[in-house]
């Protein structure tokens, strides 16, 4: 599956555009979703799979994938793992945040029209695939059987729980969830997400697959999909490694000749497989 560049970035890609937090939702103990409204001007329209640089003034900025666009609002789901993301997660309604973007490549789901689709997400990787799933749902008649396979560490770390429940009840796409560990009251699967793929004996060899999650999860997921008969080039994955400038200048995210911020984050598996064999700095 070829990469898709999506809309061009801002003509001034290093200048943050001011946005205001108009809604904040605490998803998990360390994870929040923010809805951002442009104050004077808006950044460009993003393709599913692209990312923005979110700026916490006085602290720094961090690359955060688009989790959606609701009525002109940017939706970003952020996990507190460092100084910048801790500040972003602490932002209350009314807080002003700088936004640069959008940057990078999109999922390229238009190439999957007419085919079955498998979307596999692990942990926070559910956020970057959310706009992909929403786009497929908005044009449901253009895609074949669509499956969303989700993995989490435990039921209480499952992102977008209520939304997944609604999607499963709606029936427009198939939703299957597994967790690594669970209490006896958990009614779903227990085990790694690749178990859901290995159990899909009727997975179409012509299907298109979109995968996002920890790198080890993506390696095993790609292998399981290939073992089920999918062509490696039909698998797209999203990488997020050490991105700092978002325009391919600083070199922090460089793997060989590939700059993840510029040539990715969405890349076809045959290009990614040798790259993630390189240990991250």
Answer yes or no: do 43 and 74 share one domain. yes
Answer yes or no: do 95 and 159 share one domain. no
Neighbours of 95 (CB within 10 A): 18
Range of the domain at 71: 17-103
Answer yes or no: do 121 and 232 share one domain. yes
Neighbours of 219 (CB within 10 A): 18
Instruction: Give the C-alpha distances (Å, rounded to integers) separating 244 from 11, 49, 63, 78, 249.
Output: 18, 18, 7, 16, 9
In a domain, 202, yes or no: yes
Query: What integer pLDDT is reported at residue 281 of this predicted model?
Result: 54
Answer yes or no: do 199 and 224 share one domain. yes
Answer yes or no: do 38 and 117 share one domain. no
Residue that is last in its domain, among 79, 103, 127? 103
Answer yes or no: do 115 and 201 share one domain. yes
pLDDT (tens digit per residue) in 142-164: 999 999 999 999 999 999 999 99
Residue that is last in its domain, among 103, 124, 157? 103
Query: What integer pLDDT is reported at residue 47 of this predicted model?
Result: 93
Answer yes or no: do 79 and 122 share one domain. no
Distance between CA atoms of 246 and 198, rounded to whole angstroms? 36
- The CATH code of the domain that includes 164 is 3.40.50.80
In a domain, 65, yes or no: yes
Query: What integer pLDDT is reported at residue 227 of this predicted model?
Result: 92
Query: What integer pLDDT is reported at residue 41 of this predicted model?
Result: 87
Q: What is the 3-state secondary structure (H, E, C) of 76-144?
A: EEEECCCHHHHHHHHCCCCCEEEEEEEECCECCHHHHCCCCEEEEEEHHHHHHHHHHHHHHHHCHHHCC
Query: What integer pLDDT is reported at residue 106 of this predicted model?
Result: 96
- Dihedral (Cα; 14, 125, 260, 9), 10-degree rounding: -30
Answer yes or no: do 90 and 140 share one domain. no
The total domain count for the chain is 2
In a domain, 9, yes or no: no
In a domain, 277, yes or no: no
pLDDT (tens digit per residue) in 17-67: 999 999 999 999 999 999 999 998 888 888 999 999 999 999 999 999 999
Query: What integer pLDDT is reported at residue 1 of this predicted model?
Result: 59
Query: What integer pLDDT is reported at residue 9 of this predicted model?
Result: 47
Answer yes or no: do 94 and 147 share one domain. no
In a domain, 231, yes or no: yes
Query: What integer pLDDT is reported at residue 278 of this predicted model?
Result: 63
What predicted TM-score, i.e. pTM, was given to this entire model? 0.92
In a domain, 272, yes or no: no
Phi and psi angles of residue 132, each rounded to the nearest 5 degrees, phi first: -65, -50
Residue segments in the chain with a per-residue pLDDT below the cut of 70: 1-12, 199-201, 278-281
- The CATH code of the domain that includes 96 is 2.40.30.10
**Residues 109/210, Cβ–Cβ less than 8 Å:** yes
In a domain, 10, yes or no: no
Residue that is last in its domain, among 103, 129, 146? 103
Which run of H or E residues covers position 254? strand 254-255
Answer yes or no: do 211 and 113 share one domain. yes
Instruction: Give the C-alpha distances (Å, rounded to integers) separating 150 from 72, 124, 126.
Output: 27, 10, 7
Answer yes or no: do 85 and 36 share one domain. yes
In a domain, 261, yes or no: no
Answer yes or no: do 25 and 51 share one domain. yes
């Amino acid at each position: 599956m070829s990469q898709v560049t999506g809309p061009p970035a801002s003509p001034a890609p290093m200048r943050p555009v001011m946005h205001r937090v108009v809604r904040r939702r605490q998803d998990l103990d360390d994870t929040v979703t923010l809805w951002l409204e442009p104050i004077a001007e808006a950044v460009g329209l993003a393709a599913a799979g692209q990312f923005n640089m979110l700026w916490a003034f006085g602290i720094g900025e961090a690359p955060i994938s688009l989790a959606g666009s609701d009525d002109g609002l940017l939706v970003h789901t952020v996990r507190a793992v460092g100084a910048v993301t801790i500040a972003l997660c602490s932002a209350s309604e009314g807080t002003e945040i700088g936004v640069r973007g959008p940057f990078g490549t999109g999922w390229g789901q238009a190439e999957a029209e007419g085919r079955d689709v498998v979307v596999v997400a692990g942990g926070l990787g559910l956020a970057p695939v959310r706009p992909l799933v929403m786009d497929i749902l908005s044009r449901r008649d253009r895609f074949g059987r669509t499956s969303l396979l989700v993995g989490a560490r435990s039921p209480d770390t499952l992102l977008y729980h209520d939304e997944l429940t609604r999607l499963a009840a709606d029936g427009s796409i198939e939703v299957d969830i597994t967790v690594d560990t669970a209490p006896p009251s958990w009614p779903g699967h227990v085990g790694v997400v690749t178990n859901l793929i290995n159990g899909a004996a009727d997975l179409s060899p012509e299907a298109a697959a979109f995968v996002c999650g920890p790198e080890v999860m993506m390696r095993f997921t790609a292998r399981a999909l290939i073992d089920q008969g999918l062509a490696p080039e039909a698998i797209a994955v999203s990488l997020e490694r050490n991105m700092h400038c978002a325009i391919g200048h600083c070199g922090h995210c460089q793997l060989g000749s590939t700059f993840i911020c510029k040539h990715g984050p969405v890349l076809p598996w045959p290009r990614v497989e040798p790259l993630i064999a390189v240990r991250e700095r």
